[in-house]
C-alpha cells in the first residue's frame, strides 16, 4: 500500500490529494493544515495518521478535538519530526505561499520524494531546494499542471523550447482602464480551474504564469529565454516541449488537478484516473496566442527576476503575496497589485547566492515595501 504525507491537506490541492488517496486506498501517515481545525479533525479521524500538524495558535483546539484518538497533534514547526518518523517515502506539499519553502527543504533533507504543488518554494528558494535534493538524492516530482505536463513530455533529448500554456484568466483581452474596476469577487471567478484564493488572483494578474516560468527554470534547468508563454483559453493542452528537430510533444487532458496529483503519487505508473476524459470530437477549436505583457506586467517582471536570479524571485514573490492579501482585504485596487509589486521589486537589495535566512529576509523586506504603499 502506498504511504504518504500530505502538507496543506485542508486546501484545494490537499483535499483533492485526499480524494486520490481515497480512490486508490493510499495510507496517509501524516497531514498538515494551518487554521482549518474542523477539517483537520475529520481528515484525522478518517485517515488515522500517526500525526497531524497545525498552526501554533490552533494547536490546543485541535488537541482537544482529537483527545479521544491516538493521533499526535504537533505544531507545524515540527515537520521535521513527521518527515523523519512517519512511514511513507512520498510527501505532497500543497501549502500555499513561501510558508511551503521550509517544508520542501525538510522533506528533501529527510530524503523523501517531494511531490511539489507549492510553486513558491521553487520560486523563492529554487537553488536551495535543488541543492538539497542533490545532496540527499531525493526526487522532486511536479504537481503544478503545466510542469506535470512538461515532465510527462520530456523524452531524455535536449529541449529546444518549453511552451508554457496559460488560461489567460478571467480578464483576458481587458484593457488597463477596465481592469482598474475589478473587485475581489470578479477576480475570484476563474473560467476553467477551481483553486485556492491566492493562486486564483495570481491567475487573474498572470503573476501565476510568471511564478510558473520561474518554477520551470528551476525544475527543468532551462534558461528563461527558452520558455514561451502561450495563452490557451480551453485549458486542454497543459504545456508542450519542443525538441531540436522542431517536433513538439503536448500533454492534454481535462482541467482537473487530480490527474497531476495522481501522476506524481503513482509515478512512473499510471492508474485509473478521477478526471473525465476529453471528447476531442466535440472540441471545435484549440487556440493559442501571445499574452498581453504590456497590460499584465508581472509576467515580464518575473522573467526579469529569474534572469537576474539570486534573491530577486523571492522579492517579487513576497511583494506579490502581500499585494494579493491587501487586494483581497480591499486595501488596494486590482491594478495596484502590478504597481506595488514592481515598486517593491525595484527596492530589493540584490544577493547573488542567498541563504534560507536571506530568502526570508528578502520576503519580509518586500512585504514591508508593499505595506508602505497603502
Ligand atoms: P489553498 O489556499 O486552497 O490551501 C493552502 C493550504 O496551505 C491549506 O491547507 C492551508 O491551511 C495551508 N496553509 C496556509 N498558510 C499556511 C502556513 N503559513 N503554514 C502552513 N500551511 C499553511 O491553496 P491551493 O491548494 O490552491 O494551493 C496550494 C499550492 O499549490 C500553492 O502553492 C499553489 O500555487 C499550488 N497550486 C495550486 C493549484 C490549484 O489548482 N489549487 C494548481 C497548481 C498549483 P488552512 O486552510 O488549514 O489554513
Ligand atoms: Mg499551473
Q: Looking at the domain that runs over 3-142, which CATH code has it been given?
A: 3.40.50.720
Ligand 1 center–CA 32 separation, angstroms: 11
Ligand 2 center–CA 249 separation, angstroms: 18
Biggest alpha carbon–alpha carbon distance for the chain: 62
- The pLDDT score that the predictor gives to residue 81 is 86
- 191, pLDDT greater than 90: no
User: What would the pLDDT profile of 20-53 be if each residue is shown by its tens digit?
Assistant: 999 999 999 999 999 999 999 999 999 999 999 9
Q: Which of 35, 41, 76, 95 to mutate to test the pocket of ligand 1 (most atoms within 8 A of CB)?
A: 95
What mean pLDDT do residues 288-306 have? 98
Identify which ligand lies nearest to the alpha carbon of 143. 1
Mean per-residue pLDDT over the chain, rounded: 96
- The pLDDT score that the predictor gives to residue 51 is 96
User: Which of the following CATH numbers is that of domain 309-374: 2.40.30.70, 3.40.50.150, 3.40.50.300, 1.10.1740.10?
Assistant: 1.10.1740.10
Atom of ligand 1 nearest to the CA of 211: 34
Q: What ranges do the domains of the chain cover?
A: 3-142, 146-294, 309-374
Quick one: pLDDT band at residue 109, thresholds 50, 70, 90?
very high
The whole-angstrom distance between residue 368's C-alpha and the CA centroid of its chain comes to 23
d(CA 21, CA 27): 7
Ligand 2 center–CA 262 separation, angstroms: 15
**What order do you get walking across the sheet with 227-231 strand by strand?**
227-231, 159-166, 237-243, 248-252
Atom of ligand 1 nearest to the CA of 121: 32
- Helix (H, G, I), strand (E, B), or coil: what is residue 307? helix
Q: What pTM did the predictor assign?
A: 0.98
Q: Which of 9, 13, 212 to mutate to test the pocket of ligand 1 (most atoms within 8 A of CB)?
A: 13
Query: In the structure, which protein residues have their CB atom closer than 6 angstroms to any atom of ligand 1?
Result: 8-14, 33-36, 76, 94-96, 99, 117-120, 144, 193, 195-199, 257
d(CA 131, CA 116): 16
Cell numbers 503545466: residue: 146
Query: Which among 204, 229, 218 is positioned nearest to 142, based on CA atoms?
Result: 218
What phi and psi values does residue 95 have, to the nearest 5 degrees? -70, 150
**What order do you get walking across the sheet with 51-54 strand by strand?**
72-75, 51-54, 27-32, 3-7, 90-93, 113-116, 140-142
Ligand 1 center–CA 282 separation, angstroms: 34
Q: Which of 196, 260, 261 to mutate to test the pocket of ligand 1 (most atoms within 8 A of CB)?
A: 196
Ligand 1 center–CA 270 separation, angstroms: 25
Amino acid at each position: 500500500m502506498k504511504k504518504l504525507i500530505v502538507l496543506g491537506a485542508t486546501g484545494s490541492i490537499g483535499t483533492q490529494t485526499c480524494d486520490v488517496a481515497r480512490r486508490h486506498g493510499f495510507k496517509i501517515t501524516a497531514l498538515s493544515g494551518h487554521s482549518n481545525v474542523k477539517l483537520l479533525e475529520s481528515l484525522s479521524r478518517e485517515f488515522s495518521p500517526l500525526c497531524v500538524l497545525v498552526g501554533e495558535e490552533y494547536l490546543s483546539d485541535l488537541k482537544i478535538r482529537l483527545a479521544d484518538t491516538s493521533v499526535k497533534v504537533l505544531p507545524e514547526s515540527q515537520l521535521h519530526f513527521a518527515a523523519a518518523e512517519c512511514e511513507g517515502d512520498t510527501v505532497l506539499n500543497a501549502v500555499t505561499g513561501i510558508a511551503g519553502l521550509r517544508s520542501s527543504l525538510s522533506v528533501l533533507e529527510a530524503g523523501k520524494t517531494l511531490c511539489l504543488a507549492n510553486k513558491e518554494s521553487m520560486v523563492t528558494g529554487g537553488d536551495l531546494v535543488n541543492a538539497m535534493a542533490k545532496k540527499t538524492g531525493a526526487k522532486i516530482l511536479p504537481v503544478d499542471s503545466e510542469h506535470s505536463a512538461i515532465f510527462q513530455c520530456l523524452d531524455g533529448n535536449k529541449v529546444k523550447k518549453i511552451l508554457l500554456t496559460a488560461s489567460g484568466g478571467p480578464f483576458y483581452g481587458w484593457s488597463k482602464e477596465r481592469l482598474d474596476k475589478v473587485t475581489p469577487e470578479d477576480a475570484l471567478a476563474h473560467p476553467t480551474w477551481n483553486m485556492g484564493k491566492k493562486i486564483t488572483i495570481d491567475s487573474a494578474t498572470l503573476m501565476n504564469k510568471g511564478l510558473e516560468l520561474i518554477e520551470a527554470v528551476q525544475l527543468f534547468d532551462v534558461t528563461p529565454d527558452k520558455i514561451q508563454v502561450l495563452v490557451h483559453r480551453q485549458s486542454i493542452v497543459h504545456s508542450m516541449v519542443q525538441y531540436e528537430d522542431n517536433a513538439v510533444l503536448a500533454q492534454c487532458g481535462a482541467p482537473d488537478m487530480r490527474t497531476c496529483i495522481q501522476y506524481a503519487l503513482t509515478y512512473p505508473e499510471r492508474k485509473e484516473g478521477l478526471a473525465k476524459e476529453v471528447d476531442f470530437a466535440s472540441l471545435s477549436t484549440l487556440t493559442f496566442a501571445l499574452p498581453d505583457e504590456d497590460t499584465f506586467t508581472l509576467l515580464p517582471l518575473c522573467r526579469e527576476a529569474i534572469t537576474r536570479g539570486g534573491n530577486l524571485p523571492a522579492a517579487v514573490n513576497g511583494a506579490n503575496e502581500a499585494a494579493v492579501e491587501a487586494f483581497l482585504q480591499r486595501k488596494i485596487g486590482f491594478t495596484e497589485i502590478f504597481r506595488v509589486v514592481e515598486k517593491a521589486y525595484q527596492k530589493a537589495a540584490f544577493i547573488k547566492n542567498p541563504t534560507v535566512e536571506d530568502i526570508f529576509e528578502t520576503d519580509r523586506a518586500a512585504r514591508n515595501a508593499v505595506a508602505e504603499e497603502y
